[in-house]
A = this chain, B = another copy of it.
Amino acid sequence: MNTAKSRLQAQVKALRIEAITGAVHGLLAGKGYEAMTMDEVAEAVGMSKASLYKLFPSKESLAAQAMVQVLDQALALIDRLRDTPAADPLDCLQQLTRWAMQTQYDGEMPSLPAQNSALSAALLAHEPYVERLLSMSLKLGVWVAEAQSAGQIDPALPADFVLYQLYARACDPVLGVMKDDGRFDREQTLAWMIKVQFDGLAPVDRSR
């Protein structure tokens, strides 16, 4: 086999994987992990289930790949925000949280079941996923610490608790309910969510 041919093959394979990841992303966002079937994925990308299994060994691995993609999007946004001179750490945290909530509101955030030990185990065994999750937590941890030093976030709250709160907003059911309600538009809803979250994390106002 010559090099040019194998490079082409590798490119084709990469494109295939990209297409699959996109399809899984959409399906996970639309109906969730449990309801997504391998038949659907295969049909969405126009290949047979058997071929799909040649590229991904399991359904869990598909979910992991999709989550890696989302984490990469978040990490890219984090880097852009960090390069914004006018933004202080709290602004950055708000922008990132806003992006996550907007993605969820728009039905484009993949959703995995919280209670599924098999899936959790598979995710934690998937190194690219863990690596990105860790990387993100480190970067956000810095912002949280800075915001606490600046008195924008209550220093009495553990940084990890603050992180958990922000992560949780990416799957907050309030967003979907507000959308279904229909009386409020997206920007208004997101503004209220941001207000509630970050006023809640702010230091206690002793004068009140």
Q: Which chain A residues have a beta carbon within 8 Å of chain B's beta carbons?
A: 31-32, 34-35, 111, 113-116, 154, 157-158, 160-161, 164-165, 168, 171-174, 176-178, 181, 183-184, 189, 192, 195-202, 204-205, 207-208
Contact = CB atoms under 8 A, between A and B. Distances in A.
Given A113-B34, A115-B111, A168 B173 contact: yes
B174 A173 contact: no
A57 to B, nearest CB: 23
Total identical chains = 2
A77 to B, nearest CB: 22
A182 to B, nearest CB: 11
B195 A178 contact: no
Contacts of A172: 168
A38 B99 CA distance: 40
A184 B34 CA distance: 32
A103 to B, nearest CB: 16
A168 B174 contact: yes
A116 B157 CA distance: 35
A114 B176 CA distance: 10
Nearest to A165: B174
Contacts of A171: 173
